[in-house]
């Protein structure tokens, strides 16, 4: 059983607002590199139980892909405390994904940022 969550336009805000650290994989079923990266992504989800791993099917959720200007897949996006701290197209190797996750856990967000309205 996978630990990844299917993300839709209907549950996106709930996922981001309800979790400190969320990693999104924007993908499509026809995309070969997406299928290869899915193995790395799913393994990372199994190893990082404190992180929510969401999968956004760009074919089924074109509104989300458009909202985040996704032009290439797979694209990885990391959201910490409702702030995007990383976004990059391309499949990452396991070691690089682990480093991205570690950095996201330790990133210092500006304490003076304005409160959401």
Alpha-carbon separation of residue 56 from 111, 113, 114, 117 (angstroms): 30, 28, 28, 26
Per annotation, catalytic residue among 16, 21, 31, 51:
31
Q: In angstroms, rounded to a whole number, what is the distance separating the alpha carbons of residues 49 and 19?
A: 12
Rounded Cα gap, residues 57 and 24, in angstroms:
10
Catalytic, 34? Answer yes
Q: Is 40 a catalytic residue?
A: no
List 34, 44, 78, 91, catalytic entry: 34
Q: Which residues contact 82 (CB under 8 A, 6 or more apart)?
A: 16, 17, 116
- Pair 27, 37: CB distance under 8 Å: yes
Active site (catalytic) residues: 31, 34
């Amino acid at each position: 059983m996978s630990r990844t969550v299917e993300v839709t336009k209907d549950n996106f805000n709930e996922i981001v607002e309800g979790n400190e650290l969320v990693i999104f994989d924007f993908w499509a079923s026809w995309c070969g590199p997406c299928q290869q990266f899915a193995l790395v992504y799913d393994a990372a989800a199994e190893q990082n139980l404190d992180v929510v791993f969401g999968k956004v099917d760009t074919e089924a959720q074109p509104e989300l892909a458009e909202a985040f200007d996704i032009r290439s897949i797979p694209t990885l996006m990391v959201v910490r405390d409702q702030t995007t701290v990383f976004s990059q197209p391309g499949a990452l190797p396991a070691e690089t994904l682990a480093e991205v996750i570690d950095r996201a856990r330790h990133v210092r967000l500006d304490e003076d940022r304005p409160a959401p309205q």
